[in-house]
Structure 1
Amino acid sequence: PGHLRAVENEHDPALRALSDRLRPFLEALKDAGLEARVVSGGSTPTFWYSHRIEGLTEVRPGTNIFNDRTTAAIGACGWDECAYSILAMVVSTAVRGQAVVDAGSKALAKEELRGAGSGFGALLDRPEIGVRAVSEEHGILDLSGTDWRPQVGERVRIVPNHVCVSVNLQERLLGVRGGEVVETWEVAGRGRGRG
């Protein structure tokens, strides 16, 4: 069900249709003496509904470990369930209505938000403030809809649109609890699209 990206209340018809397509395929395999012992699907948006797909025996919801802006936007998680963010510093406030941070496409990735909304991420503590544009090294925060004005040097946490791509861009992840780094995880598969 990894291709299903509907908002939560639109899952049922799509899951039924998928189940209806999967059932005859699994029956044909069985009739040919090739019964499928493992039928796997990956999808964070439909993770809690995958049991409705007849014949599915396992799920691999990759984004679910951290969640991201897209997952929250379609209702598959709450904003407070986003456990991954990029720590960035405000480096310029010279242009009215925006702030520049030191996190761009090399940290956040360059995948725009699907569906409602736009941009490349949003502030964890102020989700109404999005990253309007990115270059490789910098992001531009859109402050046009808020009275909040950050200071140069202030740190912000940005939730990317797609956590999978962002994680793949990092050498290591820091596990933070209560403002303190408690773990460091090396990203062993960083930049590896193939074996």
Structure 2
Amino acid sequence: MTEARPGEYIFNDADNVRMGTCGGLEDVGLLVATTVVSTSVDGQVIIDAGTKTLGREGNPEKGFGLVPSIPGSVLRLLNEHHGYLSIPDGVPRPAVGEVLTLVPNHACPVANLFDEFVVMNGGSAPERWPVDARGHLS
């Protein structure tokens, strides 16, 4: 390794998993909760996470993030507010309203797009941590 990327190493992300620079999905510390908002097209669901949640890191072949609970799925397209998740034949589609856990391709832009993190630590109650470096207006 010839460089360090502060911000990415603390979280890891889907790109780190693909490159093998972390132990796998269990080493990812930044996840996005997203809700299924449509199932009207066979073989896909639409989620409420788009470029304003995930950035533009990805492409239709590799996808724009991973949904580990749906093996073989590909988050193939994003617009500002929605993502189009392709579901393989024979794999049950989640229902409208179901919350999915998404692993972003690149943690850095995702961390910058939110005002706070909800931090989970084992069985402890969730904590809210502000993202102070965003430059809030008073």
Query: Per the shorter chain, which TM-score range?
Result: 0.7 to 0.9
**Could you tell me which of 135, 139, 142 is aligned with 2:79?**
135
Give the aligned partner of residue 107 of structure 1: 53
- Is the partner of 1:148 in helix, strand or coil? coil
- 1:177 and 1:84 map into 2 onto residues whose CA distance is 12
Name the aligned partner's letter for residue 65 of structure 1.
Answer: I
SS at match of 1:144: coil
Flag the 1:184–1:110 CA change in 2: closer, same or farther, 3 A: same
Is the contact between residue 33 and residue 102 of structure 2 (CA under 8 Å) also seen in structure 1? yes
- Separation of aligned partners in 2, 1:106 and 1:153: 20
SS of match in other structure, 1:112: coil
For residues 13-32 of structure 1, the aligned pairs below 5 Å read none
Aligned residue for 1:84, secondary structure, equals coil
| Deviation by residue 1:47-66 (Cα, 9 ceiling, x = unmatched) | xxxxxxxxxxxxxx431111
Q: Is residue 82 of structure 1 aligned with residue 28 of structure 2?
A: yes
Letter of the structure 1 residue corresponding to residue 11 of structure 2: F
Q: Answer yes or no: is the 8 Å Cα contact 2:49–2:81 preserved in 1.
A: yes
Contact preservation (8 Å) 2:76, 2:84: yes
Give the distance between the partners of 1:174 and 1:71, measured in 2 at CA.
22
Alpha-carbon distance in 2 for matches of 1:179, 1:145: 36
Corresponding residue for 2:7?
62
**Match for residue 182 of structure 1?**
126
Instruction: Identify, as 1 or 2, the structure richer in helix.
Output: 1
Which residue matches 2:37? 91
CA pair 79-86 structure 1, distance change in 2 beyond 3 A: same
Q: C-alpha distance in 1, partners of 2:123/2:98?
A: 15
What RMSD over aligned residues (CA atoms) do the two structures have, in Å?
Answer: 2.2
Distance (whole Å) between structure 2 residues aligned to residue 124 and residue 190 of structure 1: 29
Q: Secondary structure at the match of 1:140?
A: strand
| RCO higher in structure (CA 8 A, sep ≥6) | 2
Determine helix, strand or coil for the equivalent of 1:119.
coil
The question of 1:169 aligning with 2:113 is answered yes
Identity of aligned residues (%): 37
Query: TM-score, normalising length from structure 2?
Result: 0.85
